[in-house]
């Protein structure tokens, strides 16, 4: 699993990246009440806002950590947005993206680097 400074996570299986927000981000947001996932077939570029998560505290954009095409969206979040809180780095994923440039993953942090980054906040 790799992480961004915007608190997204990526798990790669072949050329398919599963993307969500980190447990840290979910905890900071508080109770998630709404999630808008991207449409299947949408092309995203690294750094683009591609989903929205709303909590009782705030609404936040979720940014694509890699470029590619959305091949699956976690539509279950529309009826169970609280999954982001209970399983942020597992069943609370937002989308699966067919990665167009795997080298973009090299710029992301591993768990140890992300933990060190969180310690600076």
Per-residue pLDDT of the chain (121 residues; tens, 9 = 90+): 999 999 999 999 999 999 999 999 999 999 999 999 999 999 999 999 999 999 999 999 999 999 999 999 999 999 999 999 999 999 999 999 999 999 999 999 999 999 999 999 9
Predicted local distance difference test score (pLDDT) of residue 69: 98
Whether the model clears a pTM of 0.75, i.e. scores above it, the answer is yes
Predicted local distance difference test score (pLDDT) of residue 38: 97
Predicted local distance difference test score (pLDDT) of residue 104: 97
Region label for 28, one of left (φ > 0), alpha (ψ between -120 and 50) or beta (otherwise): alpha
Residues in the chain: 121
Predicted local distance difference test score (pLDDT) of residue 96: 98
Predicted local distance difference test score (pLDDT) of residue 23: 97
């Amino acid at each position: 699993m790799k992480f961004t400074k915007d608190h997204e996570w990526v798990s790669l299986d072949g050329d398919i990246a599963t993307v969500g927000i980190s447990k840290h981000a979910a905890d900071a947001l508080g109770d998630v009440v709404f999630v808008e996932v991207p449409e299947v077939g949408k092309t995203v570029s690294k750094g683009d806002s591609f989903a929205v998560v709303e909590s009782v505290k705030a609404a936040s954009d979720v940014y694509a950590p890699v470029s590619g095409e959305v091949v699956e969206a976690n539509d279950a979040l529309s009826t169970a947005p609280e999954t982001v809180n209970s399983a942020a780095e597992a069943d609370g994923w937002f989308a699966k993206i067919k990665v167009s440039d795997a080298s973009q993953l090299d710029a992301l942090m591993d768990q140890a680097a992300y933990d060190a980054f969180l310690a600076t906040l």
